[in-house]
Amino acid sequence: MTTQNSSTQIKCPNCGTTIRIGALACEECGHVFGGAGRTTKMDEIKAPKPDRASGEVILSNQKPIVLEMGTRSLTLPLAEEVTVGRRYGSDLIQPDVDLTEYGAEENGVSRMHVRIKRRGELIYIIDLGSTNGTHLNGRKLLPNGERILRDKDDLYLGRMRIRVRF
């Protein structure tokens, strides 16, 4: 074995063979060094406080989704997921977007009818097991199945016709 600087070498505690610092095991006897590969516990640091709320999602570069119902329109909140349906009394669970004032109840819209979900640049629609179903461009959606939603798609929530724009 060649002589190296003693600051880069240590002795194997099992057989006394000189080994380099950082080795995981002794090449001579195979002894595994107990501390090898362990993360060193360090003093905790004081992280600076963030300038916005923790967990907040920034969607500034995303286009808002607009639902057009006849001559009226409704802009959905910019969020990763939005439930659309109609409010009902004092139920604890209510949709994020209430279509009651657009004739939802008369047209068979369920309380929790669909979920609109953003994933990257794509937007999906999911029927939440609604009573009267959801149709996307003339095709009935399967309950809980995701379908891509595109600009100018036609949706029917029950009998309520909605044109989607974004």
pLDDT at residue 40 in the model? 53
Task: For residue range 74-84, list pLDDT tens digits in order.
Answer: 999 989 999 99
| Percent of the chain at pLDDT exceeding 90 | 54
User: Which residue ranges make up each domain of the chain?
Assistant: 8-38, 66-165
Q: Which segment of 18-27, 36-45, 143-152 scores lowest on mean pLDDT?
A: 36-45
Average pLDDT over residues 33-37: 57
Q: Is 60 exceeded by the pLDDT of residue 50?
A: no
Of 97, 94, 92, 87, which Cα lies nearest the Cα of 125? 97
Neighbours of 124 (CB within 10 A): 15
- Domain 66-165 annotated CATH 2.60.200.20: yes
Collect all residues with Cβ–Cβ distance below 8 Å to 118 and sequence separation of at least 6: 59, 62, 79, 80, 81, 124
Of 115, 107, 112, 111, which Cα lies nearest the Cα of 158? 107
Q: Is 13 helix (H, G, I), strand (E, B) or coil?
A: coil
Q: Which segment of 9-18, 46-55, 59-68, 112-121 scores lowest on mean pLDDT?
A: 46-55
pLDDT at residue 14 in the model? 84
Task: For residue range 138-159, list pLDDT tens digits in order.
Answer: 999 999 999 999 999 999 999 9
Q: Which segment of 2-6, 29-33, 106-110, 124-128 scores lowest on mean pLDDT?
A: 2-6
Task: For residue range 109-131, list pLDDT tens digits in order.
Answer: 999 999 999 998 899 999 999 99
- From the number of C-beta atoms within 10 Å of its C-beta (0-12, 13-18, 19+), residue 14 rates as middle
Instruction: Identify which has the larger pLDDT, 42 or 165.
Output: 165
Q: What is the average pLDDT value for the chain, to the nearest integer?
A: 82
